Structure 1
Amino acid sequence: MSMIKLSSPKGGYPEIKWSRNLPRRGPSGLMTILGGVQSNKERRRLRKEQLNARLSLLPLVQAEEDRRILRAMKAFEAEEALIMKDVPGWKVGESVYHTDKWVPPNPAQ
């Protein structure tokens, strides 16, 4: 059996590139943080605007609720007068509660 002699090329083998050479992908960390800060500022501004809009509409909503309560009270008193017309001494609209505290009518009744 003959032996094959292997020898290295003159000047040696070329250098092996072993490190990864991947391109950068996406924004840098600083850009991500700055984007998050801007987003939070915008979200806070919108939340404040929404709160101001709700506070501006609150008197209107309260007035509508007061009108609904007054209509309900008139309807309740009319129904009470019809039901209790045969009861002597009954005063329509008089509170059945033993207090001076305001008790709004229950709309479920």
Structure 2
Amino acid sequence: MDAIPQTQDLPRPGGFPSVRYKRNLPQRGPSGLVIFTVIGAISAFGFYRIGQGNLEKRELHREKLWSRIHLIPLLTAELDRDTYRRNQAALEREAEIMKDVPGWKVGESVYNTKRYVGPTQIVVPEQS
């Protein structure tokens, strides 16, 4: 067999034209620095608003606590009046129920002690 002579593929005389490999993309949108600045400004404004909201919430909480503190005497007096009214009604019911029992003293403690025993309040709904 005859060997085929190998020849190298060479450029044409004068060479090939240069290949343009530079990317030519149009700039789209704002730069990274502008985006970062805008996000930072929005975040700073958000933190400012959160701080203002926290101050407002703290002030409302303080006002609520002081209003409760100032209402305590009024609520205590109202509770005392209600307790007295209920106690008097209970004594009247006791007197009505135990009127036929000889020697029964209305309002006397049923406990054999000198210690104070608070009144027991039992709410019995009326039967209809």
Task: Give the TM bin, normalised by the shorter chain.
Answer: 0.7 to 0.9
* Structure 2: 5+ residue stretches without partners: 1-19
State the structure with more CA Rg. 2
TM-score by length of 1: 0.73
Asked if 1:108 is matched to 2:108, the reply is no
- CA RMSD for the aligned pairs? 3.3
Number of residue equivalences:
103
Paired position in structure 1 for 2:48: 34
Asked if 1:76 is matched to 2:100, the reply is no
Q: Which gives a bigger RCO, structure 1 or 2 (Cα 8 Å, sep 6+)? A: 1
**4+ aligned runs moved over 6 Å, structure 1:** 11-14
Paired position in structure 2 for 1:54: 68
CA distance in 2, matches of 1:98, 1:92: 16
Indicate the percent of aligned positions where both proteins have the same amino acid. 37
Cα distance, 1:97–1:38 mapped onto 2, change above 3 Å = farther
Cα distance, 1:87–1:57 mapped onto 2, change above 3 Å = same
